[in-house]
Amino acid sequence: RTLRIGLIPGDGIGREVIPAGRRILESLPSSLNLKFSFVDLDAGYETFQKTGTALPDKTVDTLKKECDGALFGAVSSPSTKVAGYSSPIVALRKKLDLYANVRPVKTTAGNSNGKPIDLVIVRENTEDLYVKEERTIEGPNGKVAEAIKRISEKASFRISNIAGEIALRRQNIRAASPTSTRDQPMVTITHKSNVLSQTDGLFRETARRALSAEKFSSVFVEEQIVDSMVYKLFRQPEFYDVIVAPNLYGDILSDGAAALVGSLGLVPSANVGDGFAIGEPCHGSAPDIEGKGISNPIATIRSVALMLEFLGEEKAAAQIYAAVDGNLDAAQFLTPDMGGKATTQQVLDDVLKRL
């Protein structure tokens, strides 16, 4: 099988880590029978400054017409509003209908602070408060601003369905691991339907229905109110397996959970739709370390594996995860964000050697 992959480095250290991701794909063992072709694509703030758009049509068209998947680095966003600029990754998610944002958060034996964490947050990516339908009204007592929170049955169903599928897949992978301690897959539905009985109520109800399908009969389904869930996530992160959440809660939980594993440079994500996936490290363009050759490539390398998982190449993904775990556990080649002295290249070389 040959997969065509769009490479969108973006800005800053995106240009240092995406080439590392490409090297991983090029170096997969030949026994996997997987080949890749690549196409370099533009997006980001520098693209905006050069061309007037942060997401050229050519990038979107090429992804749609030619590619099976893509890797996205990071983009710099100005902290004050710049006319005409809007985030290309947000636009890409919409244009390609990448309705799920998937973020695994995992420790390894050598990097766990005593608590082994292995969870994944599955965040709805298309609606909730992020439909950005806001307005400000001048009232007699000053301004009042309001925003629409939109929850649909369709989006809630498909996000819950993919969360269930991820739970089953993780269980299959665990079954092959001698050190696994979890014997049943679990999905936690996150909501605040005690207060928002219609919007979050619909999410909760639909998630329950989606996850009650026969194919998920082996999955234990539970639910938690989002605020108490944050408490438990920080006290007892090892409890969680798959967490499914509407857009806003998922956004906040994702970054919070990422803090549990030490460095942003470790945490991958994928934007997933039906038949397409974009792997994307969670970190930004990191201008403070740009050009020094010390950015941690692990988040990107894990994003490569995550993309492959959603393109149906689970074996290849498992080998990449194992190589990364090996690098972290040995702790011989770690970048400065992990307390080490290694360069991006040295970490990449070590992972490649293990692969």
> Does residue 295 belong to the site contacting ligand NAI (CB under 6 A)?
yes
DSSP-derived secondary structure for 73-107? EE----SS--TT---HHHHHHHHTT--EEEEEEE-
Map tokens 């269980």 to a residue.
Answer: 171
| Residue 23 binds which entry of Mg ion, ligand NAI, none, CB below 5-8 Å type-dependent | none
> Does residue 288 belong to the site contacting ligand NAI (CB under 6 A)?
yes
> Does residue 309 belong to the site contacting Mg ion (CB under 5 A)?
no
CA distance 254 to 273: 19
| Residue 251 binds which entry of ligand NAI, Mg ion, none, CB below 5-8 Å type-dependent | Mg ion
Residues 6+ apart with CB under 8 A from 265: 281, 283, 295, 296, 298, 299, 335, 337, 338
Complex with ligand NAI: residue 201 or 284, whichever CB lies closer: 284
Stretch that binds ligand NAI, among 33-41, 73-81, 177-185, 190-198 (CB under 6 A): 73-81
Q: Which secondary structure element, helix H or strand E, spans residue 145, and what is its range?
A: strand 142-147
Phi first, then psi: give them for residue 53, nearest 5 degrees: -135, 140
Stretch that binds ligand NAI, among 140-148, 158-166, 240-248, 294-302 (CB under 6 A): 294-302
Closest CB 251 distance from Mg ion, rounded Å: 5
Closest CB 50 distance from ligand NAI, rounded Å: 17
Question: Which residue(s) pair with 186 in the sheet?
Answer: 220
Q: Is the distance from CB of 68 to CB of 276 less than 8 angstroms?
A: yes
> Does residue 18 belong to the site contacting ligand NAI (CB under 6 A)?
no
Q: Is the distance from CB of 44 to CB of 86 less than 8 angstroms?
A: no
Which of 42, 200, 241, 251 is close enough to bind Mg ion by CB under 5 A?
A: 251
Residue at shortest CB range from ligand NAI:
284
Stretch that binds Mg ion, among 7-15, 62-70, 243-251, 312-320 (CB under 5 A): 243-251
Complex with ligand NAI: residue 41 or 75, whichever CB lies closer: 75
Closest CB 338 distance from ligand NAI, rounded Å: 8
Which of 89, 301, 316, 334 is close enough to bind ligand NAI by CB under 6 A?
A: 89
The CA-CA-CA angle for residues 206, 124, 182, to 5°, reads: 80
CA distance 94 to 71: 16
Binding site for ligand NAI (CB under 6 A): 13, 74-77, 89, 264-265, 283-289, 295-296, 299, 335, 337
What residues line the site for Mg ion (CB under 5 A)? 251, 255
